[in-house]
Copies of this chain bind each other. A is one copy, B any other.
Amino acid sequence: MKIVITGAGGFLGRKLSLALLGRQTPPAGFDHPLAELVGADLMPPPDLRDPRFHPVACDIGDGQAVRELVADADLVFHLAAIVSADAEADFDRGMRVNLDGTRNLLEALRAGGRRPRLVFASSVAVYGGNLPETITDTTHLTPQTSYGAQKAAGELLVNDYSRKGYIDGRSLRLPTIVVRAGEPNLAASTFASSIIREPLAGEEAVCPVTPDTAMYLLSPRRVIAAFLHAAGLPASAFGGWRSVVLPGLTVTVGEMVETLRRVAGDKVAARVRWEPEARIQAIVAGWPARFAPERGLSMGFAADTSFEEIVRAHIEDELGGRIA
């Protein structure tokens, strides 16, 4: 089988590529083993030294390029996106990549006529505004960012293209992914990784929100498992709606740093400097932090069991078990 990943050059795209190449069996519903994995991004992703992996440059906003990219794909993971703060700062770029890009991909998959399976990385940023204390599977979407609006519109299209039988789509609403490796990005949530990653690497990190700020988190390990699980579910598992909130962990930023202290000691935890910044605090406070993701749980998606599990996984996966 042939699999395509958009946004394959990103942190999650690379992890997903490695996970797919490392699997012995194709996702349920596919008969043939992985023969070709195309990793697409604006710049070709780094090679992964596997003959099945083909890194390619593709601008998701270019309809013809996308059509060529997915012409004979059996399964596509659509991770390419302009992140929240960036899509807010550059509206046109966000629309082009997050909305037109998704549309281009859906049209390209439809044009192939093979009803390929699509896993779309949406986000809990689709929620916003006046929300109940706990988000349920029937909470309405009133996004208050362009990123959230573009993801919500993308979900509507994924659902309708699936309903029409053009594709077999599934949209996963991702919690904030923590701990990301690498550099901070333009997402307003980037600090949530920084305050764990930097201290563990021997560097200071600034936390721009107060310790009582609650967040809804999922680890890289678990979100990769969720992508793979979503790819193998039968369409019938989704019923009449192709979107699902991924189960995550609700934890305050104060608890996150206390966990870091428990796992890595006082010296490491002391590398977090608390410097609340009104602008970031306001954005993060607007994000929902408490969810009752019954649908996702019933479909077999799983959250991390504790924030400690998330920190220990980061130390294992990204630091080779070593703390600075």
Contact = CB atoms under 8 A, between A and B. Distances in A.
A139 B129 CA distance: 14
B142 A240 contact: yes
B130 A146 contact: no
Given A140-B139, A141-B141, A146 B129 contact: no
Interface residues of A, number: 26
A298 interface: no
A299 to B, nearest CB: 15
Interface of A: 91, 128-130, 132, 138-144, 146, 149-150, 152-153, 156-157, 159-160, 163-164, 239-241
A56 to B, nearest CB: 27
A2 to B, nearest CB: 26
A128 B149 CA distance: 20
Given A130-B240, A153-B153, A156-B152, A163 B140 contact: no
B149 A159 contact: yes
B142 A141 contact: no
A138 to B, nearest CB: 5
Contacts of A153: 153, 156-157
Contacts of A241: 129-130, 142
A146 B157 CA distance: 9
Given A132-B138, A150-B160, 9 more contacts: A138-B140, A140-B141, A141-B141, A143-B160, A144-B240, A149-B156, A153-B156, A153-B157, A156-B156
A164 B91 contact: yes
A156 B155 CA distance: 12
Nearest to A110: B91
Contacts of A156: 141, 143, 149, 152-153, 156
A157 B94 CA distance: 13
Contacts of A150: 160
Instruction: Kindly name the residue among A130, A149, A152 whose own CB sees the greatest number of chain B CB atoms within 10 A.
Output: A149
